[in-house]
Amino acid sequence: MKGFKLKKALLLLVLLPAFMMACTFDMNRREIDEIDMVLVLGIDYKNGQYQLTALYSPGSGSGSEGGEKQDGGEGSEELASGSGKSAYLALQDLKERNKKALTLAQTGTFLIGEEAAKRGLWPCIDFLQRDETIKMESLIFITKGMSAEDFIKLGQENKKTIHEDLEAIKQKQLEALTRNDNTMVNILNDCRQSLSCVMIPYMTADDSGYKVEGYAVFNNYILRDYLDSETSDGVNFFRNLVRSYDIFIENKAGLLITYTKTKIEADLSEKAINVKVKLDFESMIKEVLTEEDIFSPQQLQKLTLEQNKYIEGILEKPVKYLIEKGLDILNLARVVENQNVAGWKDIEGSWSELLPYINYSYEIKSKVSKAFMLGVR
């Protein structure tokens, strides 16, 4: 009998905390129509303060006292904003102004305005990594030449459904790349290697819509520069990110890369750093621009060499930038460290000085496939 009472008491001790937690959860639970779910969050720095601009989906909430609602029926969206001395305080201000509870649990895109990026990346994302509701796969972009707020409002003025357009950009990126490297978790991981630059895609906006142009370069968490599209493409090849890519051979052919695999090898020899880039890829002929029979064995071999040269030129663009600017946009610090653990300790302190003197070599192998044709030319 005593044993039964003891077991009963132990069972009660185990179940009581769970019961109390369930009650607490139930008391804190809110209906979905009582919560405003932010789909896009813009982060800016204006007039000595951080400003957050939250974009709501239709019917997801009633906005804030300072909110703006755009008419347009289905597809219309609502804006609300908050400001403060830090991004976190701006978020708190936004929540206090909002009539309903606000959550970032469904936020798919974070936009960082140019002025905020110039002030520093870390103050813009530190408060986000401490929010347990944030989706780690949410994407981060920089808005080139304008604030995130203006970027969003321009879309509204042009009757765009902004969060859908940004989702479409995400899908387009995955058509060209094997993965989106600008997720929250990837950016936070890149920030841990202080000797390499953090690379975040930047977008531009005009009356026709939004477009990803290339990478914004952050050194010591500060926005330093914007890469052009081809230099950014070269970065993607180094990162083994390319899924498909167009090649144009003057007066001969247009090709589409359908497969790539990049491997970077780095070795140290008496403080000399040697980097070998091994790239294998396959392409498909998509356009013939000559009367010659480019499908003959000799012409295919020549075309293969020409496309190898073309891609080597793309690879050399970020290398040239790295040498001229002394900025590690290729994340070579991590590559060298991982492949030369012992030797890395000897050069880590002088990495910035050694960076322009790295020796590069390329081993490129490719194959050209004949494209499908409806008829014979």
Does residue 41 share a domain with residue 181?
yes
Does residue 199 share a domain with residue 72?
yes
Does residue 303 share a domain with residue 258?
yes
12 occurs within a structural domain: no
Which residue, among 125, 88, 319, 312, has the nearest Cα to 218 in the 3D structure?
125
10 occurs within a structural domain: no
138 occurs within a structural domain: yes
Q: Which of 188, 208, 226 is the last residue of a domain?
A: 226
Euclidean distance between CA atoms 205 and 143, whole angstroms: 8
Q: What is the predicted pLDDT for the residue at 31?
A: 61
365 occurs within a structural domain: yes
Q: What is the predicted pLDDT for the residue at 240?
A: 97
Does residue 265 share a domain with residue 133?
no
Does residue 49 share a domain with residue 191?
yes
HSE at residue 272, side-chain half, CA atoms within 13 A, is 5
HSE at residue 9, side-chain half, CA atoms within 13 A, is 6
Does residue 284 share a domain with residue 143?
no
pTM of the model: 0.85
User: What CATH number does the domain containing 237 carry?
Assistant: 3.30.300.210
Does residue 259 share a domain with residue 123?
no
Does residue 192 share a domain with residue 84?
yes
Q: What is the predicted pLDDT for the residue at 243?
A: 96
8 occurs within a structural domain: no
Does residue 267 share a domain with residue 213?
no
H/E run at residue 166: helix 162-176
- Ranges of the chain with pLDDT below 50: 19-20, 22-28, 58-67, 70-75, 375-377
27 occurs within a structural domain: no
Parent domain of 288: 229-369
Which residue, among 62, 63, 93, 105, has the nearest Cα to 80 in the 3D structure?
63
377 occurs within a structural domain: no
115 occurs within a structural domain: yes
Q: What is the predicted pLDDT for the residue at 103?
A: 86
246: Cα separation from own chain's centroid = 21
Q: What is the predicted pLDDT for the residue at 141?
A: 98
Does residue 245 share a domain with residue 198?
no
H/E run at residue 6: helix 2-28
Give the number of domains in the chain: 2
Does residue 185 share a domain with residue 120?
yes
Does residue 341 share a domain with residue 242?
yes
Q: Which of 210, 226, 242 is the last residue of a domain?
A: 226
Q: Which of 191, 226, 261 is the last residue of a domain?
A: 226
3-state DSSP assignment of residue 33? helix
Distances (CA, A) of 75 to 79, 156, 160, 206: 13, 10, 8, 19
